[in-house]
Amino acid sequence: MFVETVFMLTKKSLLIGLLICQLQAIAQPARRYDIVIHEIMADPSPAIALPSNEWIELRNTSLVPINLAGWRISDATSTSGPMPNYILAPDSMVIVCTSSALTAMSVYGATIAVTSFPSLDNTGDLISIRSPQNTIIHAVNFTDAWYRSELKKDGGWSLEMVDMKNPCTGYDNWMASTDLKGGSPGKKNAVATIHPDKEPPQLLRAFAADNLHVILNFDEPLDSTIATNTSYYSISDGIGNPIAVNLPIPVFDKVQLQLNSPLVPNKIYTVTVRTIKDCVGNMIGSSNSARLGLAKLADTGQIIVNEILFNPRPQGTDYVELYNRSNAIIDLKQLFIANRNSSNQVSNIKPLSADNYLFFPQDLLVFTENPQQVRSQYVCQNPVSLLTVSPLPSFNDDKGNVILLNAQGIIIDELAYEDQWHFKLINNSEGVALERINYYVPTRVADNWHSAASSVGYGTPTYKNSQANSNTEINGELKVSPEIISPDNDGLDDYAVIDYRFPTAGYMANCSIFDASGRLVRYLQRNALCGTTGSFLWDGLGEKNQSLPVGIYILYAEVFNLQGNKKRFKLPMVLAQKKQ
C-alpha cells in the first residue's frame, strides 16, 4: 500500500510538472533569439544520403519550454501557414517541413509540418521565424557562399550554424555540414563548436533614398532597442542628428534615418555612428563612418573601364575594374555591365549591384564572380572595393567587349579588347590583366592599354594601375618621358610616352624610331589623326615586335595639317637594361 501510494504521488507530481511546463510555454512569449534557425536544407538535390526534401531545423536556446503553435516561417517572397501545437523543450530541436516530407523526415527526429512551406532558393534566401505575436525571433539571410565549398553548394548538403549562442553573425557562423549524410537533422550539428562573436559591428555604407531619407548598411544585425536612439547618428556639414530612426525587419542590419535638413546635390557628406551595439552587446568601434550624397544617373564617359582580367589563371576568375572620372556620385543599382554576342549585339546585361551602392568620384571598384579567388591571386590594397556580380558576362580569352550601360540603356563606356594588346614579349598572357594607361584617352585606343607589371603580380585590382600615366598637362609641342626606358614589364619605365600638344585639332603625325646609326627600326605612327592633346607609346620593340639592343634611339616625328603647315621633331631616347 505504501509503495502504491508513493507511485501515485510521483506520477501525480510528474503530471503537475508537465502541466506547469505547458502552462509556462503557453503563458511566456518568446524573446528574440530564444528560438533560432539552426540548420537549413535549401538545395537537397542531388541527394547525398538524406531524403530529397527542403527543411529547416529550429533549436530552443532558452531555459524554458516554448510552444510553437501559431509560429510561421517566411522567406523573401512568402510565408507559411501556422505551426501546430508543439512544445519545444530547452536545448532541443525540431525539424520543420512540408506535410509531404513529414514521414521521411520523422526518421531523423521530432518533426512538424506546415502548410505553404516556403520554397527556398538554392543560391540564397532570407528566412525568418515569427511568434504568434508577429515578433521576429530570428532571421538568416544566407547565400551559397556560406557553404565555403564549390562542391557542396551544388546541392545535397545542409547549412549548419556553428555556435547557437552566436545567432546574429552570418557567414562567419555558418558552413556546410560535415556529416556524411549531407546534414544532421534532429541532432547536434556536425560543425558545432564554441565560436563567440567578439567583433564590433561595422558601418559598411550609406545611401540617400532622397534628400531627407538615408539608409545605413551594417555588417551584422544590431540591438534594435539601442539603435533607434537619434542622438547616436550625426551627418556632417550642418545636417546633424536625424529626427527619426527606424530598423527595417527582419534582419535589423539596416537603419533608416529621417533628416531634419535636406541634403544638397553635388556634395559629399559623412555620416558617423556611435554607441550602438550588435545583438550580443559588442559596441561599434572605429568602422563607424561612411560617405554619403545624392546619386545621379551615370552619363557617357563618367564611369570608365580601367582594368580587365579576361584570361585568368587556372582556378582563377575574370574581373573588371571601373573608375569614376567624373564629379558625380553614381548609384551602382542604376549601372549595368554587358558584352556583345556573335551578331555584335549588346548581350548578357547584368546589374552591378542588386542594392543601392554609391560610387564616388575618383574611386575604383572591381567586379568579379568570386572576390575570394581574386584576393588569393592578386594583392588587393582595398578589399572592400571588391564586389560580387554573379554571373558576370563572359569575356573571351582572345578578344571581346566590355560594355557599361546606365538605367536608360545608354552605353556610357565600351572596351573592345584584344589579347594582342598585351606586351609583345609576354609568352603566356594567362593571369595578366590589361591596364588603362591614361584615364582621359578614349577607351577604344589600343595604345592606351598595357599589360600589368610583373612587379605587382600582373594585376592591380582595387588600386592605382601599375602602368598608369594620367598626366594631362603637356609642356611644349612634343615631349618624350621618360627619356630612358627598360621594357622588361616590371612596372618601371616599361615604355616611352610621346605627349603632344597643338593649338587646334586636325593635325596629322608620322612617327618613326631610328637607331644611333640612322637605321629605321620602327614605324610608330602613320598619318595618325591627332587631337589638341594626346600621346603615343613606344614599347621599346622593333617593327616585328622583336627585342632591340640597348643604346641611343631617335624619335623622328613629322606633324602637318591640311593647310600645309608642317613641323619636324627629333628627340633622343635611351633603351636600357636593368642589372640583374
Domains in the chain: boundaries: 28-176, 203-292, 296-470, 471-580
Please list, in sequence order, all residues whose beta carbon lies within 8 angstroms of the beta carbon of residue 244, skipping any fewer than 6 positions away. 230, 257, 258
Give 236-248 pLDDT, tens digit per residue.
999 999 999 999 9
Amino acid 476: pLDDT: 53
Q: What percent of the chain has pLDDT over 70?
A: 92
Q: Which sign does the torsion angle of CA 526, 527, 529, 530 carry?
A: positive
Q: Report the pLDDT value the prediction gives residue 23, as an integer from 0 to 100.
A: 43
Mean pLDDT of the chain: 91
- Specify the pLDDT at position 560: 82
Q: For cell 591614361, what's the residue?
A: 438
Give residue-wise pLDDT tens across range 473-516: 444 578 999 999 999 888 889 999 999 888 776 778 899 999 99
3-state SS, residue 57: strand
pLDDT surpasses 60 at 11? no
Give the pTM.
0.76
What's the pLDDT tens digit per position in 54-100?
999 999 999 999 999 999 999 999 999 999 999 999 999 999 999 99
- The answer to whether residue 5 scores a pLDDT higher than 70 is no
Determine the average pLDDT of the residues in 311-333: 96
Strands 319-324 and 330-331: unpaired
**What local confidence, expressed as pLDDT, does residue 470 receive?**
58
How does pLDDT run across 179-215, given as a tens digit for each residue? 999 999 999 999 999 999 999 999 999 999 999 999 9
Structural fold of domain 296-470: Immunoglobulin-like (2.60.40)
- Tell me the fold of 28-176: Immunoglobulin-like (2.60.40)
Burial 317-330 (b: 16+ CB within 10 A, else e): bbbbbbbbbbebbb
| Domain spanning 203-292, CATH class | mainly beta
Residue range 392-410: average pLDDT?
A: 97
- How far apart CA 318 and CA 334 sit, in angstroms, is 22
Confidence of residue 532 (pLDDT cuts 50, 70, 90): confident
Q: How many CB atoms lie within 10 A of CB 109?
A: 15
pLDDT, one tens digit per residue, over 337-390 is: 999 999 999 999 999 999 999 999 999 999 999 999 999 999 999 999 999 998
User: In the prediction, which pLDDT does 44 show?
Assistant: 97
C-alpha cell read off for 31: 524573446
Same topology, domains 203-292 and 296-470? Answer is yes
Query: How far from the centroid of its chain's Cα atoms is residue 275's Cα?
Result: 28
Q: Which fold has domain 471-580?
A: Immunoglobulin-like (2.60.40)
Q: Residue 289 pairs with which residues in a beta bridge? A: 272
Give the pLDDT score at 14.
45
Q: Output the pLDDT for position 20.
A: 45
**Dihedral angle of Cα 458, 464, 469, 471, to the nearest 10 degrees:** 180
Tell me if 29 sits within 8 A of 131, measured CB to CB: yes
Distance, in Å, from the CA atom of 227 to the CA atom of 273, rounded to the nearest integer, reads: 10
Under DSSP, the state recorded for 497 is E
- The residue assigned the cell 530529397 is 52
Q: Give the pLDDT score at 566.
A: 80
